[in-house]
Chain A
Amino acid sequence: MSAAASPGGSAASAPSLVEAEGLRVHFHPRSGLLRRSTVRAVDGISLVVGRREVVAVVGESGSGKTTLGRALLRLAPISGGAVRFDGADLLALDRPALKAYRRRAQVVFQDPYASNSPFMTVGEQLREPLAVHGIGAVSGREEIVLRALEQVRLTPAADFVDAYPHTLSGGQRQRICIARALVLEPEFIVADEPVSMIDASSRAEILSLLRELQARQGVSFLYITHDIASARHFSDRTTVMYLGTAVEVGPSAGVIEEPLHPYTKGLIAAVPEPDPRNRRRMRSVIPGEPPNAAAVPAGCPFHTRCSQVIRGRCDRERPKLQDVRPAHSVACHLYDGSV
C-alpha cells in the first residue's frame, strides 16, 4: 500500500478529470434566523482533480468542504461558476446524461452507521446500484458484488454477502460503502470524511485502501477531511478551505512541511502527535471557531481569527490565490510582496 503513495504533486500534470472554476453554492434560507441572508457555503472555488489523483480538501466544520463535494456531484444547487467532468459541462447535463454521470462519479459518506440500510444484507445493498443502472444480467451481478467485496478486502467475500450491517464493525461498514461505490466502476469518488467516525487504529486501513484503488484501478478521489495529517499521507495535492474559499493549494507534502497560510499553520499545530512532551505544553491554537457562512467577514475571511492580521488591509481587501512556490499557492496578504 505504501508503494501506492506517489510523491506529492507528481500527478498534478495528469490530464484533469474534474475541473471547477469559480464554483459558488449560495443558499437563501426562506425561514429561521438566517432568512433574508445569503449563506455562502462555497464562494468561488477553483479546483482540479486529475486522473488517478487524490485531492484532499481540508477545513473545519462549516468551511464548505462537504458542500463542495456535493456540488461536484451535482447534489447541491450550483449558483455560479463552472464544473466540467471529462471535458463536459456538468451544469448542461440533461436527465439521461446526469444518470450516466452518476455512474461515473460516486460518493462515500462520513457516517457508515447511517449510510447502510439495516434491513438489507450487504449483497442486496451492493446489487441495488447495479439494478438502478441496469448493469449485467441479474445472474452475473453476484460475481460483480463478490469482486467488489474482495477489492475492499472483506474476505472471504461470500461470508459477507448475506451479513446484515449490524453484525459488522464501523471499519467494515465503511468498506461496504466503498464497495457499493465500486460496483459501478466509477472514475471519480468523493470521500467525505470517510474515517472521522472510525477508530483511530482502523483509519489508516480505509485510507490505504483508497490509495490502492487509485493506483490499481485509476480511480480519482476528492478526499474531504478535517485531519490535515491524514491528507499528508493519503493525497497528492491539498486544498485548504476556509469559509467557502481556497486559502492554500499545493502538493500535500509541501503544504504540510512548509505551510504558507496562517490558517494552515494553525490546523497543523492542532494535530495531536503521540509525543509525551506535548502534555507539558499548551498547543498554539487558532482562537474561536469559523464565523457563520451567512456573515462572511469583509476582506480576508480569516482575518477575524488571524494572529498576523494587517489592519487596514486584511479587513478590507480579499486576497487572491497567488503562486508562491511551484504549484503551491496561497491567498494571503502576507505574501503580497514576495511574488
Chain B
Amino acid sequence: MAVLAAHDLTIEYATGRGLLRAVDHVSFTVEEAGSTLGIIGESGSGKTSMVSLLTRVYPRNTARAGGTVVFDGQDISALSAEEYRRRVRWSRIAVVFQGAMNSFNPVLRVGRQVGERLLLDGRLSKREVTREVERLFELVGLTRDVARAYPHELSGGMKQRASIASALSMGPSLLILDEPTSALDVSVQAQIMNLLKRLKGERKLTYLFITHDIALAADIADTIAVVHAGELRELGPADDVLTSPRDPYTQQLLASVPRLHGDRPPSFLAGAPPDPLQRPAGCRFHPRCPRTFAPCAVRPPALVTVAEGHMARCWLHADAPGTAGAAAGDAAGGAAGAAGTAGTAEDSGAAEAAGAGSAGTASAEDAGRAVDIDAPSREARR
C-alpha cells in the first residue's frame, strides 16, 4: 500500500482577473516509506500550491481546493480542519517551508522555538522538552549549546538545520521540504542535502522534495515529478527521468544545468511560464517547446505511460492520437487535460501504472469534492 496517494489535487484562487487554477488535477503516489518524491517546477508552476493542498494551509484567496489525499491508509482530506490539526499536522506530516530559516523570532532562544510544539502538546514536562530539543539538535548536526543561542548568532546553514529539527520535533513520518536550500550557498546546500540523506536512512522518513532545480532534486529523489502550468508533465523513477527524459520540458530543464565538465554551455528555456489566467490552448508548453507539431496547439495531451512506471504528457508519446486518451480529452471539452490525470507513480510494481496511465477517467467536473478551507494561513508557522 502506498504511503501517500494524492488524487486529482486541484486548487483555485480568486484573483482580480478571475479564477486562477494553480494546480490542475494532479495525481501521484509515493509507494515506499523512506523514499523521496522530487517535485520540480519553475516559479508559478503550482508546486507550492501543492504543499497547501497536502498541509491544508491555504492562502486567503483560495476559492476551491479539491482532491483526495490518502496517507498511511487514511483519507486525510476527509478529516475536519480540527481533526487534521490534532492528528496529522506536525505529528505525521511536517513541512519545512521555503524561507523557514528566516522565520525564527529574533528575541527568543532557538531551542525554545524548536521545542514550542512539544511544550504545547503537553505530554512532556518542561525538562523533558529541553532534553528532547537537545537530542533533536544533535540529530541535525548542531551542538546542544546552540539551543541557548538567539537566531542572529546562527549562520544560515545552522538556522536551516534548526528548522529541520523543529519540523521533526513531533516525530512525523512524512516531511515536505519546500525549496529547503534555495537561500543557501552551494557548499552549505551540499551539507544540508547530506543531512537530509542521513535522516532519510536513519529514520525512514518519506520526503516530498520541492525545488526549481532538477540537479538538486537528482541528489535525493527516487521518483521525479515535473510540474508545469499546474499540471504534471512527467513522472517516473529518477534513474529513468534523468537519463532518458521523455517530455521536451524535462529535457530542457536538464539541458539548462551548467555542467562542471565539458565545454558545452547550458542551454535555456526561452520565455516564461504561461499566464495562469490565459493558458494556451492545446499543450500548455507548446509556445515554448522546440518540438511542436500539428496537434500541440490544438488539443491538450494526456499523461500517458511511456515506460515502466514512467509517464509523460506529450503528443510525441501519444502513439495513436484519437485513441482513448485523446478522445476523452475532446469529449470533456472545457475540462481540458483531464484525461489521463489519474496516473500513479509506481516505485516498485509497475503493472498498475501501465493500466492507469493511458485510461483517462476523471473529468474536471467530478474532480473530488471541495474540501473545507482550514483556518487562515497564520496557523502555519512560517
Contact = CB atoms under 8 A, between A and B. Distances in A.
A binds B: yes
Name which of B185, B187, B218, B220 has the most chain A CB atoms within 10 A of its CB: B187
A266 B188 CA distance: 11
Interface stretch (B249-257, B298-306, B322-330): B249-257
Contact of A276 (B156, B157, B186, B238): B238
Given A253-B263, A275-B218, A289-B155, A282 B268 contact: no
Interface in A165-196: 169-172
B186 to A, nearest CB: 5
B335 to A, nearest CB: 28
Nearest to B197: A282
A202 interface: yes
Interface stretch (A79-87, A222-230, A311-319): A222-230
Nearest to A225: B186
Interface residues of A, number: 49
B186 A200 contact: no
Contact of B256 (A7, A61, A201): A201
A279 B270 contact: no
B228 to A, nearest CB: 10
Given A61-B185, A204-B256, A273-B218, A285 B43 contact: no
Interface in A229-280: 229-230, 232-234, 253, 256-257, 266-276, 278-279
Contacts of A286: 187
Contacts of B254: 274
A199 interface: yes
Contacts of B242: 274-276
B241 to A, nearest CB: 8
A60 interface: yes
Contact of B156 (A61, A170, A256, A274): A61
A273 B253 contact: no
Contacts of B222: 279
A204 B220 CA distance: 23
A171 B197 CA distance: 31
Contacts of A268: 260
Contacts of A253: 263
Given A169-B43, A169-B272, A200-B215, A283 B256 contact: no
A205 B270 contact: yes
Contacts of B270: 205
Given A200-B213, A289-B157, A272 B190 contact: yes
Contacts of B259: 229, 232, 273
B105 interface: no
B145 to A, nearest CB: 16
Nearest to B213: A200
B34 to A, nearest CB: 12
B7 interface: no
A2 B189 contact: no
Interface in B194-249: 194, 197-198, 212-216, 218-222, 238-239, 242-243
A282 B253 contact: no
Q: Chain B: interface residue count, which band?
A: 35 or more
A289 B188 contact: yes
Nearest to B269: A201
Contacts of A232: 258-260
B272 A226 contact: no
Contact of A274 (B36, B43, B155, B214): B214
B261 interface: yes
Interface string A121-155: 00000000000000000000000000000000000
Nearest to B242: A276
B265 interface: yes
A298 interface: no
Contact of B268 (A5, A169, A172, A204): A204
Given A233-B258, A289-B157, A227 B269 contact: no
Name which of B239, B253, B263 has the most chain A CB atoms within 10 A of its CB: B263
A200 B253 contact: yes
Contact of A272 (B158, B218, B252, B253): B218
A287 B191 CA distance: 8
Contact of B265 (A5, A276, A278): A5
A287 B220 CA distance: 20
Interface string B33-59: 000100000111000000000000000
Nearest to B272: A169
Contacts of A276: 218, 238-239, 242-243
Contacts of B63: none
B15 interface: no
A279 B218 contact: yes
Name which of B158, B216, B266 has the most chain A CB atoms within 10 A of its CB: B266
A61 B256 CA distance: 24
A234 B265 contact: yes
Interface of B: 36, 42-44, 155-158, 185-191, 193-194, 197-198, 212-216, 218-222, 238-239, 242-243, 252-254, 256-261, 263-270, 272-273
11 contacts: A7-B263, A200-B215, A200-B253, A204-B258, A229-B260, A256-B260, A274-B215, A274-B218, A274-B254, A274-B257, A276-B238
Interface of A: 1-2, 5, 7, 60-61, 169-172, 199-205, 208, 211, 226-230, 232-234, 253, 256-257, 266-276, 278-279, 282-283, 285-287, 289
Minimum-distance CB pairs A-B, first 5? A270-B190, A204-B268, A205-B268, A204-B266, A200-B213
